[in-house]
Amino acid sequence: MTRPAPQDVRTVACVGAGVIGGGWVAHFLARGYAVRAWDPAPDAEARLRRLVDAAWPALEQLGLAPGASPARLTVTGTLEKAVSEAQFVQESAPEKLELKRELLAKLDAATPAGIVIASSTSGYPMTDMQTEAVTPGRLIVGHPFNPPYLIPLVEVVGGERTDASAVEWASRFYELAGKSVITMEREVPGFIANRLQEALWREALHMVANGEATVREIDRSITEGPGLRWAFMGPMLTFALAGGEGGMAHMLDHFGPSLKSPWTRLEAPELDGALYDAVVAGCADASDGRTIADLVAERDQGVIDVLRATGRLPGTGAR
């Protein structure tokens, strides 16, 4: 068992170097790690270096860790060479279950004992992916968002055969590596954020399929509307503010009946007493003592800041 303390990791392996894998490479390089990458595509190295070069100016703006450099990237000729010296492995292969199963088994065989191996899968449960591995206890999901070098969120969850210590280790490691971690206690297909954005995406596809809205209108309806709020206040607290001084309870009283309106193709859950109470209590908890007036002031300032930052206030440059 050679698992280092999370703060002692110096070398990370990234297996699969497409948009997501390459984005992880850029992130780990910027945070000062040495990165060993492998991808079977013939043009993978050139594409990966282009991606890192394109991301680097943004990463400089974010602030590089001491010693961070694109020169610390090594692209290896084999999977084994990428992982043999790694203290953490991030797998970002194409989203095909069979392929993931086989690859994770290979990675498990080639990676030093105990080292945690994370999959970037957008939705497969680790339970379904770890079936072929000899030591599945160290396999976890670490699901990022595109681009992984800028979007903080990583959803961390294990499978049925994953050791709790590997989940805990990975959550701590990602935090030290500058990510914002949600550690899930149980496997849910699509995790949390992907389920939410997938619901939105499917509704958008329905609208396009039915000629109800164009791609441009769909995008504008978000960037000029709810998207401005969601950059800093999530959909639940945002909706709580639609209830005015009464907050989420009043919002549910007022808009609860609309849940049964045919406003999406997604069937709504029954808004029974238990769900009502859970949502209201959850909002109270997430408010961390802030009153509705506090939240309104915070939201208003946030929208203004975001409008200004994205060049949409009078006197700021248009994007």
C-alpha span between 237 and 282 (Å, rounded): 9
On whether 218 is known to bind a ligand per the annotation, the reply is: no
Closest contact distance (angstroms) between CB of 2 and its own copies is 31
10/201 with CB nearer its own copies:
201
The tally of CA atoms less than 13 A away on the side-chain side of residue 234 is 10
For 167, phi and psi rounded to 5 degrees?
Answer: -65, -45
139/279 with CB nearer its own copies:
279
Beta-bridge partner residues of 18: none
On whether 23 is known to bind a ligand per the annotation, the reply is: no
- Dihedral of CA atoms 285, 290, 294, 297 in degrees, nearest 10, equals -50
On whether 21 is known to bind a ligand per the annotation, the reply is: yes
Burial class, 263, CB count within 10 angstroms (exposed 0-12 / middle 13-18 / buried 19+): exposed
Q: Contact at 8 Å (CB) between 35 and 28? A: yes
3-class SS letters over 99-131: HHHHHHHHHHHHCCCCCCEEECCCCCCHHHHCC
On whether 17 is known to bind a ligand per the annotation, the reply is: yes
109/153 with CB nearer its own copies:
153
Closest contact distance (angstroms) between CB of 187 and its own copies is 9
Closest contact distance (angstroms) between CB of 74 and its own copies is 22
DSSP string, 278-300: HHHHHHHHHTTT--HHHHHHHHH
176/306 with CB nearer its own copies:
306
Vertex 189: Cα angle to 186 and 194 (nearest 5) = 110
69/201 with CB nearer its own copies:
201
Closest contact distance (angstroms) between CB of 135 and its own copies is 27
Q: Contact at 8 Å (CB) between 272 and 303? A: no
Closest contact distance (angstroms) between CB of 153 and its own copies is 4
Closest contact distance (angstroms) between CB of 88 and its own copies is 21
C-alpha span between 246 and 235 (Å, rounded): 17
On whether 16 is known to bind a ligand per the annotation, the reply is: yes
78/223 with CB nearer its own copies:
223
Closest contact distance (angstroms) between CB of 79 and its own copies is 21
113/242 with CB nearer its own copies:
242
The residue type at 166: A
**Which long-range contacts link 282-289 to residues 24+ away (Cβ below 8 Å)?**
282/236, 283/236, 283/237, 283/240, 283/247, 283/248, 284/248, 286/234, 286/236, 286/237, 287/237, 287/240
Task: Report the DSSP pairing between strands 11-15 and 34-38.
Answer: parallel
Residues comprising the binding site?
16-21
Q: Which residues are annotated as a binding site for NAD(+)?
A: 16-21
